[in-house]
A and B are shown apart, each in its own frame.
Chain A
């Protein structure tokens, strides 16, 4: 594999960190200047990341070493196809979220806005760092940074509920961080290297019981952020955060970082062959299937829209991991592409929830009767994303569902096909009532609704992400070549295995 040495990965990570400190220095008094740092950084970041796509498509990897700590311990970036995909998702959606955030916090006259934008920029720094990490140590460093950078956003409202949510969040994620640190140390001790390698590098480095224990530790460690049951508890609680935070972080960056970590462990540390030989893949698949189904049912019972979406997130994340752990070519393709597809759909849904909160001050599904006539664009976008999430063509959700189901067949495990089907049914069951209530029911207070949308800074981003969900359903390879990148990633993994 050709390696290109370039400092672009470093700049992609640093740009938002620089912006974060500019935001802090600018402060509340010049809020337009402060917001412009966010916007500039978001665009610059995306263009740096996107500028590396052609190299990835040529099958190259981009590498940059920052510091060598010790032989075999490096702070290093290496962008392969999989990392590029995650980087693209996070950086492109940050642009949408930046505009949306500005509309949201100004619409609600939120306090501590400087802290908010500062922490947001730091989160993105860590997320891109995670995406581009060349090895587990670098990954871990950015992963822990992400944990801390998210904390001020979770507790943003400073209400007792938020503080409680923040404590829970920290308890879960820091404990997981400790376990990960230990597991990483074990791997370094056993193999002397921590570099991710497509197809895994652990085979033959320890007895199977040690490897199984390590696998369990990694899945626990990353599973917390990825919301695998029973470690998902923090996620619905953390929904007290402002909606843009829930949208980008709890649907895209933070939880996806957990999923990304799980997939790195499954595909790049252990590798399909080793997991097959150890035989733990099937157990793991059952565990995540449980999460898929139960999270779907739990979502049904939530009246609070954001909590409902949170459980839907848990459900979808588990589906991604299930796709990866089935270890077939199609299932992996489905899993990796679903990371992108789910991100676009889920962020749309959260954006809509936020728009409802800002404009109509409605947070509960039961309050949404007839709201579609007042806010047709918001609810239209919601409908598109909901249809996509249920896996109905031509939305992008269909593409991922298709490959996931193919994967279940390839693995000769029909039961997982039913898991995917059930999950799709449940998606319909808990999302479609929202669409129905908002468009076809009469408003509760009997006032004839008139067109009254949320601020344009919020409506435009959510419309764009909804439209992109359709575009990526019709042409999965549009703009930034998500599909080609996924194919390359899968080829790399399977090529070795």
Chain B
């Protein structure tokens, strides 16, 4: 029964996405309830899958009943069951949020195509996470990328250019990935991850395998937006519609990071990735620069959304540092941060969307009296901001803590310094926004006219506010229960050899 759940996670949104245009053709306003209703299915299924993995350990689903390594296999262990829950949950929350924001930001005739692509994107992300087949992963990678290009392109001014940049780099990444898969297939004759993991160790010093690994790494670094291959990311994420930004900023980079962990430590053995190829120090240093570059660029922005976009660049660095130190603590931190960062970034982008919906601006200097206008939204913002800075008991503190333990264990002082530096930069970034939103304007010229008591409460509509509040509550709850999450899920997700 639960095996069918695994299939349903992919099939439900995929089929549903094809039905959206039909619904949109008859009744445009039914698209939204349909998408929300459909996305509940994978969420419940992924919870079922996670529960099964927790009670009985990993299992696999054979698509069409074909036995691996010939057939496609959905291999589910602790790691991807965990990521599945994150992806399904966040896409569901964002779907709930989407209604008003989409109505405001997009022309009416674009709503049905938008929701079609939205579901396809989610399908692609879920497929990447669930599959146990490297070629099948490529297929889903393309599904998600193509729908993502289109979703970005329907955004505001400049979106088509940004999307086109992304298409070029994204296609290069996809090609590299496919080349990597091709090399592996030539060398081993297999596409199944588990099968590859068995065959590969005997060929670890083969040039073909090394090149394949290099292709994978570069491809995933591009897809994940790791500095200096991030150049497509800021514009693409900035110009996309609010809902799309929230979805891709929180999930795309995290899913790429997941694939990186999968390729490095499942398809290839940790022994290979750590000892044979000198890739981890390179990734680590790239991550250090990503953190510093992202932080400094974010400091230079006066537009809230653009600031967040650069923070995403920095946050990718966090996860990669956890991967590159290659020890139990570091990887625990990386996997924990995949969850924490997805929740925090989604929450922040949703908040920016809500602010934009209500005030029509994203300029940090024009946010005065926002705590009076939108008290709940700003409270959520403050909580999430503190979490990004790494203040306990919010969840950001705990991933930072494990990442730092990882860097200490590996003796990588520069990585540790970068992580600590980043929390200070985040403090400056977010307190700047908090000061503007909460305090009396220092310079009355910029201020809105009228006294404080004239300002009426004007919160975002409930469909937007509820997701924001839920995410902000999660930021705290995930922090409080991070111990349980680690002991019941993440410690099994980390490769046993660490």
Give chain A's interface residues, CB within 8 Å of chain B. 67-70, 73, 75, 137, 140-142, 144-145, 147-148, 155, 158, 160, 163, 167, 170, 174-175, 178-179, 181-182, 185-186, 188-189
List B contacts of A185 (CB < 8 A): 401, 404-405, 408, 416
| Minimal beta-carbon separation of B339 from chain A (angstroms) | 15
List A contacts of B440 (CB < 8 A): 158
List A contacts of B442 (CB < 8 A): 160, 163
List B contacts of A73 (CB < 8 A): 483
List B contacts of A67 (CB < 8 A): 480-481, 483-484
The chain A residue with its CB closest to the CB of B332 is A70
Select A141's contact among B397, B408, B431, B439, beta carbons within 8 Å.
B397
Select B431's contact among A75, A145, A170, beta carbons within 8 Å.
A170
- Is the interface on chain B under 10, 10 to 19, 20 to 34, or 35 or more residues? 20 to 34
Contact, CB under 8 Å: B409 / A189: yes
Alpha-carbon separation in the docked complex, A174 to B390 (Å): 10
Can you offer 7 A-B residue contacts whose CB atoms are under 8 A?
A: A69-B398, A70-B483, A141-B392, A144-B392, A158-B439, A182-B404, A189-B405
Contact, CB under 8 Å: B400 / A181: yes
The chain A residue with its CB closest to the CB of B382 is A148
Contact, CB under 8 Å: B420 / A181: yes
Give chain B's interface residues, CB within 8 Å of chain A. 386, 389-393, 397-398, 400-401, 404-405, 408-409, 416, 420-421, 423-424, 427, 431, 435, 439-440, 442, 480-484, 486-487
The chain B residue with its CB closest to the CB of A190 is B408
List A contacts of B482 (CB < 8 A): 69
Give the most central of A68, A69, A73: most B CB within 10 Å: A69
Contact, CB under 8 Å: B427 / A170: yes
List A contacts of B484 (CB < 8 A): 67
| Minimal beta-carbon separation of B422 from chain A (angstroms) | 10
List B contacts of A181 (CB < 8 A): 390, 400-401, 404, 420
Alpha-carbon separation in the docked complex, A468 to B400 (Å): 44
Query: Given A141-B392, A147-B391, A178-B423, 6 other A-B contacts at CB below 8 A?
Result: A67-B480, A142-B392, A144-B392, A170-B431, A181-B400, A185-B408
List A contacts of B397 (CB < 8 A): 141, 144
Contact, CB under 8 Å: A141 / B420: no
| Minimal beta-carbon separation of B387 from chain A (angstroms) | 11
The chain B residue with its CB closest to the CB of A143 is B392
The chain B residue with its CB closest to the CB of A187 is B408
Select B435's contact among A75, A140, A163, A175, beta carbons within 8 Å.
A163
List A contacts of B405 (CB < 8 A): 185, 188-189
List A contacts of B400 (CB < 8 A): 181
| Minimal beta-carbon separation of A147 from chain B (angstroms) | 8
Contact, CB under 8 Å: B423 / A174: yes
Select A182's contact among B420, B424, B439, B483, beta carbons within 8 Å.
B420
List A contacts of B420 (CB < 8 A): 178-179, 181-182
Give the most central of B389, B405, B481, B482: most A CB within 10 Å: B405
Q: Is the interface of A mostly helix, strand, loop or mixed?
A: helix
List B contacts of A145 (CB < 8 A): 391-393
The chain A residue with its CB closest to the CB of B416 is A182
List B contacts of A188 (CB < 8 A): 405
Alpha-carbon separation in the docked complex, A75 to B401 (Å): 14
List B contacts of A141 (CB < 8 A): 392-393, 397
List B contacts of A189 (CB < 8 A): 405, 408-409
Contact, CB under 8 Å: A174 / B389: yes
List A contacts of B401 (CB < 8 A): 137, 181, 185
Contact, CB under 8 Å: A167 / B404: no
Alpha-carbon separation in the docked complex, A170 to B435 (Å): 12
List of 10 A-B pairs having minimum Cβ-Cβ separation, nearest first: A69-B483, A141-B392, A178-B420, A158-B440, A158-B439, A67-B483, A189-B408, A185-B404, A185-B408, A185-B405
With A155-B439, A175-B424 already in contact, the answer to whether A148 and B404 are too (CB < 8 A) is no
| Minimal beta-carbon separation of A215 from chain B (angstroms) | 17
Contact, CB under 8 Å: A69 / B431: no
| Minimal beta-carbon separation of B428 from chain A (angstroms) | 8
List B contacts of A167 (CB < 8 A): 431
The chain A residue with its CB closest to the CB of B398 is A69
Select B424's contact among A68, A142, A178, A186, beta carbons within 8 Å.
A178
List B contacts of A178 (CB < 8 A): 420-421, 423-424
Contact, CB under 8 Å: A148 / B386: yes
Alpha-carbon separation in the docked complex, A314 to B29 (Å): 65
| Minimal beta-carbon separation of A134 from chain B (angstroms) | 15
Alpha-carbon separation in the docked complex, A166 to B483 (Å): 33
Alpha-carbon separation in the docked complex, A174 to B482 (Å): 23
With A144-B397, A163-B439 already in contact, the answer to whether A68 and B392 are too (CB < 8 A) is no
Contact, CB under 8 Å: B424 / A70: no
With A160-B442, A185-B408 already in contact, the answer to whether A174 and B393 are too (CB < 8 A) is no
Alpha-carbon separation in the docked complex, A392 to B363 (Å): 59
List B contacts of A148 (CB < 8 A): 386, 391
Alpha-carbon separation in the docked complex, A158 to B400 (Å): 31
List A contacts of B408 (CB < 8 A): 182, 185-186, 189
| Minimal beta-carbon separation of B217 from chain A (angstroms) | 28
The chain A residue with its CB closest to the CB of B409 is A189
| Minimal beta-carbon separation of A159 from chain B (angstroms) | 8
The chain B residue with its CB closest to the CB of A152 is B438
Alpha-carbon separation in the docked complex, A163 to B484 (Å): 39
Alpha-carbon separation in the docked complex, A178 to B427 (Å): 11
Alpha-carbon separation in the docked complex, A170 to B425 (Å): 12
| Minimal beta-carbon separation of A190 from chain B (angstroms) | 9
List B contacts of A68 (CB < 8 A): 483, 487
List A contacts of B480 (CB < 8 A): 67
The chain B residue with its CB closest to the CB of A138 is B392
List B contacts of A155 (CB < 8 A): 435, 439
List A contacts of B421 (CB < 8 A): 178
Alpha-carbon separation in the docked complex, A142 to B392 (Å): 8
The chain B residue with its CB closest to the CB of A24 is B379
Alpha-carbon separation in the docked complex, A179 to B389 (Å): 14
Alpha-carbon separation in the docked complex, A357 to B435 (Å): 27
| Minimal beta-carbon separation of A395 from chain B (angstroms) | 39
List A contacts of B427 (CB < 8 A): 170, 174
Alpha-carbon separation in the docked complex, A142 to B386 (Å): 14
The chain B residue with its CB closest to the CB of A140 is B392
